[in-house]
Chain A
Amino acid sequence: MNKLLLVIGILALVVFTAGASLAGDYHSGEFLICSDCHTMHYSRSHDMSGATGTEFTELGTGGPFHYLLKADPNDLCLMCHDGGTDEPDVLGAHANGYDRSAGALNEVGGVDTYQDWMGHTLGSTATAPGGTFANVDGLNCLNCHHQHGYAGSGTTDMAGNPVTSLYRNLKYYNDGTGNKGISYTIDVNDTPADLTKDVRERYGPGSTLSDHYSQDNIDLLEPAPTKSGIAGWCKNCHTSFHGATGGAEVGGTGSPPEEWLRHPQAEANIGALGGGHSNKGSRGLGGKLYRVRFMSPTGVWGTQGTAWGDTGAPADLTPTCLSCHKGHGNGRAFGLICATGTAPIGEDGDTDQAKPLCKQCHTQG
């Protein structure tokens, strides 16, 4: 009897562990099957039943490819994720109606108006600005995403909380203190946010693509007041663009810290520092009808279309990388979100000028 219980216990453990390993919302048994993307020996002489009717002894002259893939990873991903209306469309112009939270990737040589200096460039062998990362085979989707989904086990976010599922299944990284990842929470119909996560996804009824991927439904939270999971993740490649205040990368020395070498992305709240720094009052962020996204420890960063006015913006809003840049890129240089604050913010912002973006928070100039 005891042995039976032991066996049942082990089986239960195996089953639950297997279930946990499938966490994540990418390609985890939802629709695709392994052989959609992989081939064991880059050959196909018969199917699983041995049935005849197949004439191929090899899959073709184009491969074989790394990771037993049937084809170049970008081509595989883009078969569904470019121009498709039933999956997120990530390359160039958008086939769906909403403004993408991550914006648009481009390719070497550009994709129409999405040039290869406007964000992340598939196929690029260039070294990441501010870092040393480069893919000699060309940048591909798998450099950033766990295409199979990843439970995040053993991974913590910047606040030190265990990560149980990674936002967009962005790859985890090791910052020298352990495996780090970006955590997220899904709030169904705007139920109260789990403020211990890095990102909040507002999930509406019907589960449309827009619910998951529209910039209107993605908020940046701030579980650790002096850290940013987003910035930490970007640092993985763009190394010296991020660091702690006072550090060699970004500076910010003095009291109050003003002498920045690079723009802070984690610690400096808007309007918190004097000396001509950012302004959260009505002349600065508080007067903007429409705002780019900021990290908020409370999940509250105002309502688009309504200015804070004389009361000013909350004092706990913090800019991070995705405040000014689209993760994938967009139709502006460096993937900048050029927003004047006077009109709804599309993927590119609402202007082709960068200055208004600075003036979301700053009043100089």
Chain B
Amino acid sequence: MIEKLVRGDRSRWRIRSAVALVVALLFVSIGTGLLAKSLPKIKENVCLISYGWSRSEKLKSPGGVFFYARKGEIYVADTGNHQILIFNEAGTPIVRIRHSVDGKEPGTSRQGEPKQVAVNSRGDIYVVDSLARYLDVLDYRGRSIERIYPGDLLDMQRDDVRCAAVTVDSADNVYIGVSGEQSAVLVLDRKHSLIRRIGEKGDGDGKFKAITGIWIDGAGKIYVSDARNEPAVQVFSPEGKLLVKFGVHETGPHNFSLPSGVVTDEFGNIYVTDSLRHWIGAFTSEGKFIIRLAGGFGTRPGDLSFPTGIASDGKRTIYTVEKAGARLQGFKLEITQLEKD
């Protein structure tokens, strides 16, 4: 009798447990489904590959890329060849601008190593050169018309800081990422007067250690990638308030080894190149990992070999340049977004 009762209890317990398990699984699957649905689906298709100016003059260790929306042109900092290359949207090179910097002796010049480039609505070209302490401003013909020293803007010695990254927004405000004894994002108006400084050198939220890329979206939000700081990617309001942060230097697809640039698409999804992982990571506007786009070390279309820069048309096309791969690649994005931000 007692044994029967016990068996009966066990049986009921098993049934209850099974029901509870089914209900729990149901909730989990619904939850997971909702979660999955909340993430956009993104797929990339290679739409452009260019190897440089000509067969005999290929890209050499390119460091940066910028999409000039007004003309639909792609500007590449062809670092190893000391020049800026301009491609049309089909990937055909149309202009090259040699870049030189001051030589060691006064009054002399030497070949530069341009590593980032940006263009304003007038066609003025902003060049960050590894061998210069200033941001070089060129006219559309490539003639240097102004030099902006971040040391002057920060009231520091010119040799103590240098430009690490640059971009321009739709109002022609200029954003300079500064590295060296101090680190910050400097916001300049179209006449190059300092209007805002964001962050300082250091570890953690709102600080920077080695800025590698800056991007401004349509709403004026400021995206900054940093090779050494954690968080690796930070998003600020136009006024400089930290809004979103993500990524540390660790394993896992949502983390980074050497983030080298950041852009967004028309939905606000964020794309970050990682030089040492050879891929582009896609994240939601809140910094939640979506998927790895492109990449895998190699030379096939879609492979990446040390991507050092990323650009976007702000809609559904992104571009990247590869330092060792020595290529410019463009990717059309297929985006299934449930709701537009």
Query: Does A83 contact B63, Cβ atoms closer than 8 Å?
Result: yes
A317 to chain B, nearest CB (A): 28
CA distance A208 to B180 in the complex (A): 9
CA distance A112 to B79 in the complex (A): 12
B275 to chain A, nearest CB (A): 6
Does B303 interact with chain A (Cβ within 8 Å)?
Answer: yes
Mask, B292-326, CB within 8 Å of A = 1, is 10011111100101100000000000000001100
- Cβ 8 A contact of A31, one of B115, B228, B292: B228
Does B50 interact with chain A (Cβ within 8 Å)?
Answer: no
Inter-chain contacts of A111 with B (CB < 8 A)? 80
Query: Does A93 contact B296, Cβ atoms closer than 8 Å?
Result: no
Given contacts A36-B258, A61-B303, contact A86 B298 (CB under 8 A): no
Inter-chain contacts of B61 with A (CB < 8 A)? 82-83
Query: Does A47 contact B297, Cβ atoms closer than 8 Å?
Result: no
Query: Does A33 contact B249, Cβ atoms closer than 8 Å?
Result: yes
Tally of contacts, chain A with chain B, CB under 8 A: 115
A286 to chain B, nearest CB (A): 28
Most central of B131, B133, B297 by chain A CB within 10 Å: B297
Query: Does B113 contact A93, Cβ atoms closer than 8 Å?
Result: yes
CA distance A48 to B159 in the complex (A): 43
Does B130 interact with chain A (Cβ within 8 Å)?
Answer: yes
Does B210 interact with chain A (Cβ within 8 Å)?
Answer: yes
Query: Does A47 contact B296, Cβ atoms closer than 8 Å?
Result: no
Does B245 interact with chain A (Cβ within 8 Å)?
Answer: no
Query: Does B130 contact A346, Cβ atoms closer than 8 Å?
Result: no
Query: Does B115 contact A83, Cβ atoms closer than 8 Å?
Result: yes
Does B276 interact with chain A (Cβ within 8 Å)?
Answer: yes
Inter-chain contacts of B63 with A (CB < 8 A)? 83
Query: Does A79 contact B299, Cβ atoms closer than 8 Å?
Result: no
A208 — nearest CB in chain B belongs to which residue?
Answer: B181
B325 — nearest CB in chain A belongs to which residue?
Answer: A62
Query: Does A83 contact B210, Cβ atoms closer than 8 Å?
Result: no
Query: Does B300 contact A61, Cβ atoms closer than 8 Å?
Result: yes
SS class, residues of chain B in contact with chain A: loop
B287 to chain A, nearest CB (A): 14
- Cβ 8 A contact of B299, one of A61, A85, A206: A61
- Cβ 8 A contact of A93, one of B131, B180, B251, B292: B131
- Cβ 8 A contact of B292, one of A54, A86, A89, A95: A54
Does B252 interact with chain A (Cβ within 8 Å)?
Answer: yes
Query: Does B296 contact A59, Cβ atoms closer than 8 Å?
Result: yes
Query: Does B258 contact A71, Cβ atoms closer than 8 Å?
Result: no
Does B234 interact with chain A (Cβ within 8 Å)?
Answer: no
Does A53 interact with chain B (Cβ within 8 Å)?
Answer: yes
CA distance A95 to B112 in the complex (A): 10
Inter-chain contacts of A93 with B (CB < 8 A)? 110-111, 113, 130-131
B301 to chain A, nearest CB (A): 11
Inter-chain contacts of B175 with A (CB < 8 A)? none
A64 — nearest CB in chain B belongs to which residue?
Answer: B297
Query: Does A85 contact B297, Cβ atoms closer than 8 Å?
Result: no
Query: Does B298 contact A55, Cβ atoms closer than 8 Å?
Result: no
30 contacts between A and B (CB under 8 A): A31-B228, A32-B257, A33-B250, A36-B277, A47-B252, A47-B253, A48-B251, A49-B252, A54-B253, A55-B291, A56-B292, A59-B298, A60-B300, A61-B298, A61-B303, A62-B297, A62-B298, A62-B299, A71-B324, A75-B306, A79-B275, A79-B324, A83-B113, A83-B115, A85-B130, A85-B162, A85-B179, A86-B179, A86-B228, A346-B104
Given A111-B80, A208-B181, 4 more pairs with CB closer than 8 A? A51-B253, A55-B291, A94-B131, A112-B82
